[in-house]
Chain A
């Protein structure tokens, strides 16, 4: 158990809908990361937050957004969902903003029908 929690574990929704994925980092970790794992793209970095502020952006679509709250939990919002958004979404956390190992949560499996 990494100490990173993600909810929900599974999510099934329809095209065009909007969903919110939630992540709680390890106790004391200030940095949260979101990754997408799909069969065709592999594991891809989406976005990083550090102590409430966006730190780095990766291959995140404009339909996706994230935020980190004062209690350090983070939410990833996915809107106007398409079939291709079906994937496993991982959250990870680390103590610092950089040069740090990351600890991963169990993931949320999103299925868009």
Chain B
């Protein structure tokens, strides 16, 4: 079955600390991968995406993610977290088959940042 797993429902870090949010996917081939962020009361904003090529991708707001095919993972990282990063983060993938564009989302990881 096609699915995305985000093992951590809640994560709390101190401001200035590093961050890694985990994401694993289940799919028979290499999917297109995304990380979205949702601030309270807001829509989803695209942080970064992986379609092909370099497995380390840079995104907005200082985020990066690394695609590891052997581990079916696409973990999100940030070297130094800011208080404004507190939000919910969703990993998603696009199964590029059937000619359509359905995004499959993980359950999300809620990030809290302590001052």
Whether A48 and B100, one on each chain, are in contact in the complex, defined by CB atoms closer than 8 angstroms, is yes
Q: Verify if B71 is at the interface (C-beta below 8 Å from A).
A: no
Separation of A52 and B46 alpha carbons in the complex (Å):
25
Whether A45 and B90, one on each chain, are in contact in the complex, defined by CB atoms closer than 8 angstroms, is no
Separation of A48 and B103 alpha carbons in the complex (Å):
11
Binds A, one of B22-30, B36-44, B78-86: B36-44
Whether A56 and B101, one on each chain, are in contact in the complex, defined by CB atoms closer than 8 angstroms, is yes
Whether B42 and A98, one on each chain, are in contact in the complex, defined by CB atoms closer than 8 angstroms, is no
Q: Which residues of A contact B (CB under 8 A)?
A: 2, 4, 31, 33, 35, 42-45, 48, 55-56, 58, 90, 92, 94, 96-107
With A42-B107, A42-B108 already in contact, the answer to whether A104 and B43 are too (CB < 8 A) is yes
Q: B101 is contacted by which of A44, A102, A104 (Cβ under 8 Å)?
A: A102
Inter-chain contacts of A58 with B (CB < 8 A): 102
Given contacts A42-B108, A45-B103, 12 further A-B pairs with CB under 8 A are: A2-B43, A33-B101, A33-B103, A43-B105, A56-B102, A58-B102, A90-B43, A98-B96, A98-B100, A99-B51, A103-B46, A104-B45
Subset of 19 A-B contacts with CB under 8 Å: A33-B101, A33-B102, A43-B90, A43-B92, A44-B105, A55-B101, A97-B100, A97-B101, A98-B96, A99-B94, A100-B101, A102-B101, A102-B103, A104-B36, A104-B43, A104-B44, A104-B45, A105-B43, A106-B43
